[in-house]
């Protein structure tokens, strides 16, 4: 284990390249690192503008001193002199104006150019990083902060602070020299006094900015809480977590009150210390008068020299103010440069490495050991060996959390093994060119992620230069074309942030189309059809079977029927291959893990009651005459042919949603109202679970405020997740990662179920709550849920009919309407004409 830790440290914790050990970026390097020759010219012009601008006080005072002196001896002042002075002021105005314009324009322009380049490089650098880096070091929020706040900081420095600094410091030098020139006797006495003005200002100014920093930090923490809340708004509403969130928010804001008071005091001191200026004027006027009386110096010279010295002092003070921004900006620049210079161990921009042609698609895992960078102490794969022949279809099965998705993560080189190697056509994938390797694979992941753009663009991610026909063809093969064309904007429909405006099944089909468009040599399907109803699944499954011809296909599935025709089925337990062979071979091994799973699945699908009785649940306890304790199952189908081909469906209607449920139940508004009120106390579990960046314990505790440790453990035990949690080094304090990325799909669902159980709600809403679970876990969780359901109203959305078979009422929904309703037996009695019957028969056939 020590070796393992060392290896992990080498792979993930240490910087990947010696370049990263460079000293923090200095100000000069920061200034010029993103500049091209045009920027150098712009900065040179801008700097000359600053010098001209900084001369304004001196030039004005030189002319003014003469004019004032002229007033003093008014008899010798002619109109021609006055005109000359006035003209001199006009010239000053033009020259200074032009200088100030150059200053503002050139620095502003170059700031924009340099920061745009920096932002682009930064984003490129982030996208280049390996997945493990994000697991350990970087949180998405930090990236967004850097890309917005840090780059804005630097842009502000370039466009404003640097020109300000140069102008002011030059104004100070020029004004003090001019003061000396006009009246050195006065300047020599007053200049030291100026420090009385500058020192307290800069002392309090420093305090002010450090206080401001603390204030910003506190606001950032509070902002982070608000951001988390908004990104998980459904879960938050459902768990009535608003108050808890507001409490956390106001606790985070607590320090700002004290800091705010301190801020006020410091600002007062800064502004108050400006009063010293009047004392300086007192000294100026007294000593100036002495010089006029004793030395016969002209009044105009005294006044102009005094103004030069004082304004010069202000210039120095203002330039000091900029210094703190330079320090801040160089920190920002260091953060950005560090990222830009960072060369990851798995570098997606690396063009090195070999490629093979033609690709056969043979895969081999040789003695692979792997642990995720965020949990180096828990080995997920150990001595993992797997050989896949070219064009074979291989199914991976195993309990939730056994390491199936990890196999895919390693094939895609999102991570590298700690020990052992992975070969493609006999070549270690580490020596293959990374982008080429990834281009050989088409991945449909467990929780398909769509980009916030149109369906067309999302499919195009599979192959950038695909034609319209190719896109449609891929969508047809993924059984997505029909639903897409029924949307008012068809392929140009926007899918929303992360695809939230699409149903789970629609997202899966779009991402299957995306993978198929690529025509990959290796197809990786991680629970690719788990969110589809039986009809769609059958169609997509057939398409995938066709698509798998001539390519190597790896399928992860909990529904074993999906894998029946696979050439090889591999059973994974705790990261090790425990059994492998064809379906028939594995079935022949009675008592083996695979045949046990198949038996369990048959029992579940053919007769839901058998399982539950064998586990001691009395299904009759679910039946209750009162409406509030009814259990309703909803089956969402895609039986469009039943509705007629010409049916117009709007974008909303094509999505099964709770809104439709409400619309459909409009006549039963009283019950609906009761339900809505009750829903404020309800438990909602849906597959796209929103998780905060918190620990497992905190996530479960969302179910109930002030829940005790014992209650949390009890809920976790019922949700069949306690064992996994206890096996973790940090137990219940294990960090879940951004939106739970550090957990497997099934683990996330079970934690969400524990949260719902803890909440003890009046109404339980289960939206495909167990779809990501293996059969054994599902059976156990189902059992726990059924115990939880006793005495409450439950609405269950499920594609696996075994899940809802025992509901008091089952509603079959198609295109936003209930097309059939009744108990399981009632619906089956309708025979072949019935929609439920046909779904049920499909699932039965599949499980045989």
Q: Could you list the residues that contact ligand ATP (CB under 6 A)?
A: 135, 372, 374-375, 380, 398, 400-406, 446, 741-747, 772, 774
Using Cβ positions, the residue closest to ligand ATP within the complex turns out to be: 746
Beta carbons of 761 and 675 less than 8 angstroms apart: no
Token pair 């137990």 in the structure block, residue = 731
Q: How many residues does the chain have?
A: 848
What's the closest the beta carbon of residue 515 comes to ligand ATP, in angstroms?
Answer: 18
What's the closest the beta carbon of residue 804 comes to ligand ATP, in angstroms?
Answer: 21
The smaller minimum CB distance to ligand ATP, of residues 534 and 742, is found at: 742
Q: 647: which residues sit within 8 A by CB, 6+ positions away?
A: 486, 640, 815
The smaller minimum CB distance to ligand ATP, of residues 135 and 820, is found at: 135
The smaller minimum CB distance to ligand ATP, of residues 556 and 789, is found at: 556
Of the candidates 40, 22, 35, the one whose C-alpha atom is nearest the C-alpha of residue 154 is 35
The smaller minimum CB distance to ligand ATP, of residues 622 and 725, is found at: 725
What's the closest the beta carbon of residue 692 comes to ligand ATP, in angstroms?
Answer: 16
CA 703/CA 239 separation, integer angstroms: 6
> 3-state class of 732 per DSSP?
helix
What's the closest the beta carbon of residue 726 comes to ligand ATP, in angstroms?
Answer: 12
The smaller minimum CB distance to ligand ATP, of residues 404 and 518, is found at: 404
What's the closest the beta carbon of residue 371 comes to ligand ATP, in angstroms?
Answer: 8
What's the closest the beta carbon of residue 104 comes to ligand ATP, in angstroms?
Answer: 48
Beta carbons of 143 and 199 less than 8 angstroms apart: no
Beta carbons of 411 and 458 less than 8 angstroms apart: no
Nearest-Å Rg of the Cα atoms of the chain is 36
What's the closest the beta carbon of residue 475 comes to ligand ATP, in angstroms?
Answer: 26
The smaller minimum CB distance to ligand ATP, of residues 404 and 521, is found at: 404
Residue 22 falls in which region: left (phi positive, over 0), alpha (psi -120 to 50) or beta: beta
Q: Which residues of 648-659 are buried (b: 16+ CB within 10 A; e: fewer)?
A: ebeeebbbbeee
The smaller minimum CB distance to ligand ATP, of residues 374 and 693, is found at: 374
The smaller minimum CB distance to ligand ATP, of residues 399 and 704, is found at: 399
What's the closest the beta carbon of residue 495 comes to ligand ATP, in angstroms?
Answer: 23
What's the closest the beta carbon of residue 606 comes to ligand ATP, in angstroms?
Answer: 23
How far apart, in Å, are the Cα atoms of 239 and each of 543, 755, 764? 40, 9, 11
The smaller minimum CB distance to ligand ATP, of residues 446 and 638, is found at: 446
What's the closest the beta carbon of residue 721 comes to ligand ATP, in angstroms?
Answer: 10
How far apart, in Å, are the Cα atoms of 427 and each of 225, 350, 413? 47, 18, 14
Beta carbons of 477 and 543 less than 8 angstroms apart: yes
The smaller minimum CB distance to ligand ATP, of residues 406 and 548, is found at: 406
Structure tokens at 764: 């339980």
What's the closest the beta carbon of residue 111 comes to ligand ATP, in angstroms?
Answer: 39
CA 608/CA 112 separation, integer angstroms: 65
The smaller minimum CB distance to ligand ATP, of residues 153 and 747, is found at: 747
H/E segment holding residue 529: none
The secondary structure of 257-302, three-state, reads: HHHHHHHHHHHHHHHHHCCHHHHHHHHHHHHHHHHHHHHCCCHHHH
The smaller minimum CB distance to ligand ATP, of residues 375 and 463, is found at: 375
CA 48/CA 321 separation, integer angstroms: 22
What's the closest the beta carbon of residue 414 comes to ligand ATP, in angstroms?
Answer: 9
Could you give the angle at which helices 79-128 and 56-72 cross, rounded to 10 degrees? Answer: 160
User: What are the φ/ψ torsions at residue 574 (nearest 5 degrees)?
Assistant: 45, 45
């Amino acid at each position: 284990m020590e070796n393992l830790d060392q290896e992990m440290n080498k792979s993930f914790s240490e910087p990947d390249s010696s370049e990263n050990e460079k000293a923090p970026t200095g100000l000069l390097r920061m200034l010029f690192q993103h500049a091209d020759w045009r920027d150098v010219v712009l900065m040179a012009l801008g700097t000359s503008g600053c010098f001209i601008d900084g001369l304004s006080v001196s030039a004005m005072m030189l002319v003014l001193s003469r004019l004032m002196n002229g007033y003093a001896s008014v008899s010798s002042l002619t109109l021609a002199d006055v005109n000359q002075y006035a003209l001199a002021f006009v010239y000053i105005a033009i020259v200074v104006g032009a200088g100030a314009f150059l200053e503002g324009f050139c620095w502003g322009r170059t700031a924009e150019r340099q920061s745009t380049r920096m932002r682009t490089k930064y984003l490129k650098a982030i996208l280049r990083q390996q997945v493990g880096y994000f697991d350990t070091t970087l949180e998405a929020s930090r990236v967004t902060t850097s890309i917005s706040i840090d780059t804005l900081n630097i842009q502000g420095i370039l466009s404003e602070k640097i020109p300000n600094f140069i102008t002011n410091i030059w104004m100070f030098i020029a004004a003090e020299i001019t003061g000396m020139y006009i009246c050195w006797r006065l300047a020599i006495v007053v200049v030291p006094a100026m420090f009385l003005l500058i020192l307290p200002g800069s002392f309090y100014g420093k305090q002010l900015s450090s206080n401001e920093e603390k204030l910003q930090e506190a606001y950032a923490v509070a902002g982070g809480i608000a951001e988390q809340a908004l990104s998980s708004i459904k879960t938050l509403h459902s768990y009535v977590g608003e108050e808890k969130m507001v409490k956390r928010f106001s606790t985070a804001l607590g320090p700002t009150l004290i800091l705010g008071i301190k801020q006020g005091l410091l600002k007062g001191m800064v502004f108050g210390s400006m009063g010293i200026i009047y004392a300086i004027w007192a000294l100026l006027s007294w000593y100036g008068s002495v010089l006029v009386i004793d030395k016969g110096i002209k009044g105009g010279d005294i006044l102009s020299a005094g103004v030069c010295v004082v304004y010069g002092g202000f210039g120095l003070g203002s330039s000091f103010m900029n210094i703190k921004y330079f320090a801040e900006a160089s920190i920002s620049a260091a953060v950005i440069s560090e990222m830009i210079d960072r060369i990851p161990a798995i570098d997606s921009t690396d063009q090195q490495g070999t490629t093979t042609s033609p690709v056969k698609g043979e895969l081999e895992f040789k003695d692979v050991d792997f642990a995720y960078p965020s949990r180096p102490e828990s080995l997920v794969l150990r001595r993992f060996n797997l050989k896949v022949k070219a064009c074979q279809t291989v199914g991976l099965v195993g309990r939730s959390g056994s390491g199936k998705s990890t196999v895919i993560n390693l094939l895609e080189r999102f991570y590298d093994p700690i020990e052992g190697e992975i070969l493609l056509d006999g070549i270690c994938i580490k020596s293959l060119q990374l982008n080429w390797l990834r281009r050989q694979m088409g991945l449909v992941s467990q929780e398909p992620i769509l980009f916030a753009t149109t369906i067309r663009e999302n499919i195009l991610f599979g192959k950038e230069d695909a034609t319209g026909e190719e896109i449609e063809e891929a969508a047809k093969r993924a059984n997505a074309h029909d639903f897409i064309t029924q949307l008012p904007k068809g392929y140009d429909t926007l899918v929303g942030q992360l695809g939230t405006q699409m149903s789970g099944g629609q997202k899966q089909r779009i991402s299957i189309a995306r993978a198929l468009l690529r025509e990959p040599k290796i197809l990786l399907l991680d629970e690719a059809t788990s969110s589809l109803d039986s009809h769609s699944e059958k169609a997509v499954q057939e398409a995938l079977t066709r698509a798998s011809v001539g390519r190597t296909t790896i399928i992860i599935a909990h529904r074993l029927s999906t894998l029946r025709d696979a050439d090889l089925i591999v059973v994974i337990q705790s990261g090790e291959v425990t059994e492998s062979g064809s379906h028939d071979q594995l079935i022949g091994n009675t008592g083996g893990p695979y045949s046990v799973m198949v038996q369990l699945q048959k029992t579940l699908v053919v007769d839901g009651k058998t399982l539950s009785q064998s586990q001691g649940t009395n299904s009759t306890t679910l039946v209750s005459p009162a409406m509030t304790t009814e259990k309703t199952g909803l089956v969402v189908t895609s039986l469009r042919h039943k509705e007629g081909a010409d049916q117009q469906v709007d974008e909303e209607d094509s999505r099964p949603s709770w809104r439709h449920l409400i619309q459909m139940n409009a006549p039963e508004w009283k019950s609906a109202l009761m339900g809505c009120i009750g829903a404020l106390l309800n438990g909602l579990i849906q597959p796209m679970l929103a998780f905060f960046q918190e620990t497992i314990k905190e996530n479960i505790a969302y179910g109930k405020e002030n829940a005790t440790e014992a209650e949390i453990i009890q809920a976790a035990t019922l949700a069949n997740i306690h064992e996994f949690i206890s096996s973790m080094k940090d137990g219940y304090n294990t960090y879940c990662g951004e939106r739970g990325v550090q957990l497997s799909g099934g683990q996330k669902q079970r934690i969400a179920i524990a949260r719902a159980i803890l909440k003890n709600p009046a109404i339980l809403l289960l939206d495909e709550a167990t779809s990501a679970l293996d059969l054994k876990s599902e059976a156990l969780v189902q059992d726990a849920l059924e115990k939880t359901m006793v005495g409450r109203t439950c609405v269950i959305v499920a594609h696996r009919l075994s899940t809802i078979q025992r509901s008091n009422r089952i509603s079959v929904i198609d295109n936003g309407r209930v097309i059939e309703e009744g108990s399981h037996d009632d619906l089956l009695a309708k025979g072949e004409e019935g929609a439920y019957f046909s779904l049920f028969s499909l699932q039965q056939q599949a499980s045989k």
